[in-house]
């Protein structure tokens, strides 16, 4: 019997004992983190699904996993044998997790899940289902974690304080700006549980989440106090704020909050557990997280550092592409070899701290899975034909990077060329956008997609996401997508924000193409009609001309590609060997 | 003393008697109509402002008029001497009407207005201000209308029943589709007060509102009954539904509603008065108006009729442009002469019933006012230089039209040419869009605006609006705009919907340019990635090549213009005289 079926069997036995009809296991730690350490991989323990987004619902006689378009192909493969049904979120006629629950429960039944891993917003939706159907919703129960055998231990890495040369702004300044925003919203204080918000505010970094340089922590601030809750209280020295133990946050809040205080919480990130706790001991006020927005707008120090880091990171990717193209014909190279070589090139950069997410190195059909990750147990050899898609990024002292190139290794079909060319056109057109302040990514998304829409193709994911500074590779509130998924996708674009720009084509079982640059929003001219914005491209890596069919470009696309390629050479050639630079010069030759 | 100041004086005296701090006078009849007959022009009576959108708030010592970007220039002129301050809605630092109220009222004060002319949503916002500030809000008071001297009488025109050849769907069918939607929303019935919804549902048309062929009416339906409330009950013969007197609707609802019934109301269109009445006598449920969406999707009969009507309407506009260009040098022509000649050309069409809105005929600087209307008292002579902007449309048996052309009459500047060319490029690019189902106008708007944004120009209005069939020239839920104004602007585009496409450039005191075609949303290919949609252009009028600087076009823009111009000739030449057709052939010559 499949190990997951046995685990579900145990869970169902406990559910019966507790008279629970359905048990809900979202992805997540206690901080709404996108990536989580092994300690928190409860959903994976029961389902085998390793993607970064998915909710498992276990009933007595069935179970369903809900995930988004990036993971449809991967989830189908990974759930095989588990007995769990896959629900493809966003597809026609596929119920949401809430509709799924609603259709299967009735009067007097019990739904359950751990209130610490559920965001307030999520729990509220489940609550609504319960009210409609007459169910109860228990969130102070934790049987799925109790039955998690051989559970890894909770991570507890070192904490690093960042100097002003890296942050550009002191914690004192940041605290005062956040307090200003809270005052505007009529609040006396705020409770923070998102780890990247806390790292930004206190100018620290940690090692507790893979790829994200964050430490498990909570924070509280009001007009007098600022308190940071971390695991190793002795590691930090400061008199700017109080430091308390991570595990004492509940008790501290209970003792220190007062009924008169209006305490802001972000319903999208605070867990149900802490929302309830704060509601009981103070006046909880739901607001749009002001820290998220302040953090998203990079200051001039951060921007200066980012420009230099992106130049170096781009040079590492160029070195990698050069090596791959040069050796592919006379050397056996696997997808993982590619990952490792690229890692070594990044390691040569002084400021490098580690990858910003697990590198995607996907050969041919593997690239049709947007978030494919090569595994050592099943090595895939890359041959001198078709294309290799590599999506990777680094964490540096001075910035977080993210870049994708699809690299031609030998013969490719006319269709692959057509698709590659249209992806490049979309990427370049979005990068060249000029638009008035007030626009969101939703206004701009069509610039990247239109060349593909004209072919009847639509990639099932966003075009771009916000990017942190020495922080999470995905951050809000800005994003580029055409469909509203949640409100964060509609963050208004502000000068100083970073955005990825990564259109693609994914043909199941055949190939995948993605080209990704990172853009910095900058002020453009101010006219009688308002302040205009445009983008500065931070990424400098050639777009593979072997896959570009110039005939399929507009005149403007050609001009944009040539201008971009000129900047690639200008910004990276000083970081390359003579041999690499000579290769690059040819790789960025103007197209006509 | 200005007559409006005297009228406000009387109003303020009554306000003092009633102890009212602020009196609110929105634009509107009792049906949330965009255009209203003179009987309802209470706001105009006190302010002199004639625009179709604006809210007047009268305090004891000040008064403010709130209107949108289309009317900024016009309102400034019309309010002159009234003592009323203009508030430009949507501009930076300009308060909303609710913020304006909030900053000027306090504990125990009274706000008032007629609950019949306020939509539920609007009244709810005012209510919120009252709760925050401790005010009272009286809506069963009507002093502004009581003091309306020499008030015109309430209109009461004839009612026409439409044959199936015009509607393509019987009332029985429509009622059954609406009932289906109500059942899906868990409702037993619905109260309708928007006149165009009612006309559509009962396949009738009236004459009570200028430019909109609608009759003052209300309607109610549940699973057994359908009731139409009109003024002349004897005019209609049918056994499909009940007919009751317009003025008896309150009494009928009080008697016939039951507490057990869930009655749907559209909070955006139902007045506060009727929402309260229904809440008191049944279970009022706020839903998105299903009739609005059903009406917006035109059926095949309507589409067939529309194609023919747009062809004829376009030919009338071509005849007008030909006449204007031919005679401008040797004949004194005023803006109003132009309106009248165009009217005569439309009158020659058998199906013509009247204009669909007051024709805008705006010479040179007048065209910078988006909604300028020439007045007989101040005739403006059009000379053989600069440009004339003409925005007009007709109501026909078979459709409602809307078209704008900016016509070159003599020398124009290079800047005018540049702006004209970019407006044309934007209009053509939006018309050529192909996009997946699920898109709203917000996703597409940038296609029309981008050529202007690149010049640092942004027109302060939407790019397009929905259009009725033999009904209101503006209808929802679809629209094309980049900023969300209210939720109606985010209606998902469906095959069968009509949209105007009208980018422009407006330079205050100098000139205005607008080019407007009407588009029909049609199904395009269905691929693995979903159903795609694209547009069919219904309008066939040449874009003035005298103002096109071909150098400023992309290759694709040229191709799109030439293709469009070919279709103009093909679709209209049979409706023109030999002389007109010869002129048109030259007017649509291909550009290279």
Q: Are residues B493 and B366 in the same domain?
A: yes
The DSSP bridge pattern shows strands B464-466 and B434-436 to be unpaired
Is residue A282 in a domain?
Answer: yes
Q: Are residues A334 and A467 in the same domain?
A: yes
Boundary-marking domain end, from B146, B171, B190: B146
Structure-token pair, residue A90? 């966003």
Instruction: Indicate the DSSP class of residue B411.
Output: B
d(CA B274, CA B181): 22
Residue B496: CATH number of its domain:
3.90.230.10
Residue of A nearest to B432 (CA): A454
Q: Are residues A262 and A361 in the same domain?
A: no
Provide the pLDDT for residue B486. Answer: 55
Q: Are residues A176 and A248 in the same domain?
A: yes
Q: Are residues A331 and A345 in the same domain?
A: yes
> Is the pLDDT assigned to residue B68 strictly greater than 60?
yes
Q: Are residues B196 and B66 in the same domain?
A: no
Closest by CA position to A3, among listed A146, A148, A145, A117? A148
Kindly provide the b/e burial profile for residues B532-555, where b requires at least 16 CB atoms within 10 angstroms of the residue's own CB.
bbbbebbbbbbbbbebbbeebbee
Q: Are residues A282 and A303 in the same domain?
A: no
Averaged confidence pLDDT in chain B: 95
Q: Are residues A479 and A540 in the same domain?
A: yes
Say if the Cβ atoms of B446 and A442 lie within 8 Å.
no
Closest by CA position to A470, among listed A440, A502, A498, A441? A498
The answer to whether the CB of B419 falls within 8 A of the CB of B368 is no
The DSSP bridge pattern shows strands A55-59 and A22-26 to be antiparallel
Is residue A154 in a domain?
Answer: no
Is residue B223 in a domain?
Answer: yes
Q: Are residues A110 and A23 in the same domain?
A: yes
> Is the pLDDT assigned to residue B489 strictly greater than 70?
no
Ranges of beta strands (E only) in B462-541 are: 464-466, 475-480, 498-501, 504-507, 511-514, 517-527, 530-537
Structure-token pair, residue A289? 């997280």
Chain A residues near residue B556 by CB distance under 8 angstroms: 554
Closest by CA position to B141, among listed B22, B245, B59? B22
Show the domain range for B29. 3-146
Provide the pLDDT for residue B132. Answer: 87
Q: What is the ipTM of this complex?
A: 0.90
Displacement of CA B189 from its chain's centroid (Å): 28
Structure-token pair, residue B475? 């209808």
Comparison of pLDDT for A375 and B503, the residue scoring more: B503
Is residue B499 in a domain?
Answer: yes
Q: How far apart are the first and last CA of chain B?
A: 61
CA distance B79 to chain A (A): 24
Q: Are residues B263 and B362 in the same domain?
A: no
Chain A residues near residue B435 by CB distance under 8 angstroms: 446, 453
CA distance B448 to chain A (A): 12
Say if the Cβ atoms of A443 and B439 lie within 8 Å.
no
Say if the Cβ atoms of A458 and B436 lie within 8 Å.
yes
Residue of A nearest to B92 (CA): A530
The answer to whether the CB of B212 falls within 8 A of the CB of B35 is yes
Residue B290: CATH number of its domain:
3.40.350.10
Q: How many Cα neighbours within 13 Å face the side chain of A183?
A: 8
Closest by CA position to A220, among listed A173, A186, A179, A161? A179
Q: Which of B443, B525, B527 sits opposite A482 (nearest CB)?
A: B443
| B520-B448-A462 Cα angle (round to 5) | 90
Say if the Cβ atoms of A442 and B442 lie within 8 Å.
yes
The domain tally of chain A equals 3
Interface test with B, best of A368, A422, A430, A436 (most B CBs within 10 A): A436
Query: For the segment A530-570, what is each residue's pLDDT rounded down to a tens digit?
Result: 999 999 999 999 999 999 999 999 999 999 999 999 999 99
Boundary-marking domain end, from B90, B121, B146: B146
The percent of residues in chain B predicted with pLDDT above 90, rounded, is 89
Number of neighbouring beta carbons within 10 Å of residue A527? 13
Residue A134 phi, psi (nearest 5): 80, 25
The answer to whether the CB of A312 falls within 8 A of the CB of A571 is no
Provide the pLDDT for residue A489. Answer: 53
Displacement of CA A92 from its chain's centroid (Å): 25
Displacement of CA B492 from its chain's centroid (Å): 18
pTM: 0.92
Is residue A112 in a domain?
Answer: yes
Structure-token pair, residue B13? 């005296």
Boundary-marking domain end, from B268, B295, B322: B295
Is residue B154 in a domain?
Answer: no
- Spans in chain A with pLDDT lower than 50: 487-488
Provide the pLDDT for residue A463. Answer: 97
Query: For the segment B41-51, what is each residue's pLDDT rounded down to a tens digit?
Result: 999 999 999 98
3-state per-residue secondary structure call for A132-189: HHCCEEECECCHHHHCCCCCCCCCCCCCEECCHHHHCCCHHHHHHHHHHHHHHCCCCE
Helix pair A300-327, A335-347: axis angle to 10 deg:
140
Is residue B343 in a domain?
Answer: yes
Count the residues in chain A.
Answer: 592
- The set of residues, in sequence order, having a beta carbon less than 8 Å from that of A134 and lying 6+ positions away, is A106, A107, A108
The percent of residues in chain B predicted with pLDDT above 70, rounded, is 99
Chain B residues near residue A446 by CB distance under 8 angstroms: 433, 435, 443-444, 446-447
Q: Are residues A331 and A216 in the same domain?
A: no
Residue of A nearest to B443 (CA): A443
Query: For the segment B238-285, what is each residue's pLDDT rounded down to a tens digit?
Result: 888 999 999 999 999 999 999 999 999 999 889 999 999 999 999 999
Say if the Cβ atoms of B529 and A442 lie within 8 Å.
no
Provide the pLDDT for residue B70. Answer: 82
Interface test with A, best of B458, B462, B506 (most A CBs within 10 A): B458
Is residue A152 in a domain?
Answer: no
Count the residues in chain B.
Answer: 592
Q: Are residues B469 and B322 in the same domain?
A: yes
Structure-token pair, residue B442? 């917000």
């Amino acid at each position: 019997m499949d190990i997951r079926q046995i685990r579900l069997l145990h869970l169902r036995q406990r559910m019966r004992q507790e008279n629970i009809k359905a048990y809900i296991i979202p992805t997540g730690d206690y901080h709404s983190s996108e990536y989580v350490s092994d300690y928190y991989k409860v959903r994976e323990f029961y389902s085998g699904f390793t993607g970064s987004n998915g909710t498992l619902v276990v009933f007595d006689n069935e179970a369903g996993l809900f995930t988004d378009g990036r993971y449809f192909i991967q989830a189908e493969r990974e759930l095989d044998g588990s007995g769990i049904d896959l629900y493809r979120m966003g597809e026609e006629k596929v119920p949401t997790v809430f509709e799924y629950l609603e259709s299967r429960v009735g009067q007097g039944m019990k739904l359950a899940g751990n209130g610490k891993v559920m965001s307030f917003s999520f729990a509220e939706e489940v609550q609504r289902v319960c009210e409609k159907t007459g169910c109860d919703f228990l969130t102070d129960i934790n049987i799925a974690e109790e039955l998690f055998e051989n559970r890894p231990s909770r991570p507890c890495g070192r904490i690093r304080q960042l100097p002003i040369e890296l942050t550009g702004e002191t914690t004192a300044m940041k605290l005062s700006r956040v307090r200003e925003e809270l005052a505007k919203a009529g609040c006396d204080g705020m409770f923070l549980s998102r780890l990247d918000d806390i790292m930004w505010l206190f100018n620290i970094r940690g090692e507790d989440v893979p790829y994200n340089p964050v430490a498990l922590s909570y924070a509280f601030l009001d007009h007098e106090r600022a308190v940071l809750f971390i695991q190793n209280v002795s590691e930090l020295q400061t008199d700017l704020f109080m430091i308390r133990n991570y595990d004492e946050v509940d008790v501290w809040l209970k003792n220190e909050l007062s009924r008169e205080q209006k305490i802001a919480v972000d319903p999208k990130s605070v867990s149900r557990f802490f929302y309830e706790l704060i509601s009981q001991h103070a006046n909880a006020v739901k607001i749009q997280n002001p820290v998220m927005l302040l953090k998203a707008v990079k200051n001039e120090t951060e921007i200066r550092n980012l420009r230099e880091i992106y130049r170096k990171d781009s040079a590492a990717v160029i070195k990698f592409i050069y090596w791959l193209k040069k050796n592919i014909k006379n050397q056996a190279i696997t997808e993982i070899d590619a990952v490792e070589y690229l890692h070594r090139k990044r390691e040569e950069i002084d400021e490098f701290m580690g990858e910003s997410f697990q590198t995607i190195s996907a050969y041919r059909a593997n690239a049709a899975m947007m978030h494919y990750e090569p595994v050592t147990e099943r090595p895939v050899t890359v041959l001198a034909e078709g294309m290799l898609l590599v999506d990777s990024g680094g964490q540096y002292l001075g910035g977080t990077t993210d870049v994708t190139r699809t690299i031609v290794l030998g013969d490719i079909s006319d269709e692959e060329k057509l698709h590659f060319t249209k992806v490049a056109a979309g990427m370049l057109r979005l990068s060249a956008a000029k638009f008035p302040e007030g626009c969101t990514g939703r206004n701009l998304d069509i610039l990247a997609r239109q060349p593909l829409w004209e072919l009847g193709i639509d990639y099932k994911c966003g075009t771009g996401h916000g990017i942190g500074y020495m922080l999470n590779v995905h951050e809000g509130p800005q994003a580029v997508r055409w469909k509203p998924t949640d409100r964060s996708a509609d963050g208004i674009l502000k000068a100083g924000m970073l955005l990825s720009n990564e259109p693609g084509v994914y043909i199941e079982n055949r190939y995948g193409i993605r080209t990704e640059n990172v853009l910095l929003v900058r002020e453009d001219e101010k006219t009688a009609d308002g302040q205009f914005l445009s983008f500065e491209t931070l990424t400098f890596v050639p777009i593979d001309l072997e896959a570009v069919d110039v005939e399929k470009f507009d005149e403007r696309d050609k001009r944009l590609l040539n201008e971009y390629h000129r900047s690639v050479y200008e910004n990276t050639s000083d970081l390359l060997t003579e041999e690499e630079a000579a290769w690059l010069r040819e790789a960025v030759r103007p197209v006509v």
